[in-house]
Amino acid sequence: MKRLFFFAAIIMSVNICADAQTCSNYLLLQNNKKIEMTIYNKKDKESGKQVWNVTNLNSSGGTTTALLNTEFFNDKGKSINKGESEIKCEGGMLMMNMKLMLNETQLKQMENGTATVTGEFLEYPATMKEGDNLKDGNFTMKYKMNGGMESNMEISVTQRVVGGSESVTSPAGTWNCIKINSNQKLVTKIAGIGIPIRMNVTEWFAPGVGVIKTQSNYGSTLITSIQ
């Protein structure tokens, strides 16, 4: 019996090490890594940049976490907003914080108040193939401004279907990506009244690396620098 426990412990430790190694390949889970994503409007004109700095990397019990310090810049290179969020990886599955889907204007609105968040993470399995249906994502943020006004922000990502593969090239490199198509809806409610914004979104996801490019009817993003 002791021998069985001994071998079970070895197998478990090997699995944890393998998962940690898989997780460490993701760009946003590499400590002190700096990733720059360029933002384009629907006319394909550059409208700003989003820069992530990875800190506080930690691996424990098969889960890897990191803190992303995010900074937005306008098309003139001026810093307009800062924030932070957590990212996770379990068993090679990347778990992106859905707060990262908010733009600089939405984040700016929440600076002067307190927020409560539920349903933070959107899952990207370690292995995907064309035709797979991925798990939906639902994010809710309730925040109260210092003046007492309450607002509610909801993001839903549904009908996530894996499409074909495609190569993506930018000044930062070239990746073989899997396309993920989804429907996304954003609703911001003030005093219970809100108008939904709906988007058809395509993501180019490089297995083991992360999301390299996105495209919607409102514009696109592309990783253009990695340091």
pTM: 0.85
Rounded to 10 degrees, the C-alpha dihedral 205/41/99/52 comes to 70
From 9-18, 78-87, 173-182, 216-225, the region with the lowest mean pLDDT:
9-18
All domains of the chain, ordered by start, with CATH? 2-226 (2.40.360.20)
Confidence check: pLDDT of 16 > 90: no
Confidence check: pLDDT of 114 > 90: no
Confidence check: pLDDT of 158 > 50: yes
Give the pLDDT band of residue 195 (cuts 50, 70, 90): confident
pLDDT at res. 137 = 96
Who wins on pLDDT, 51 or 149? 51
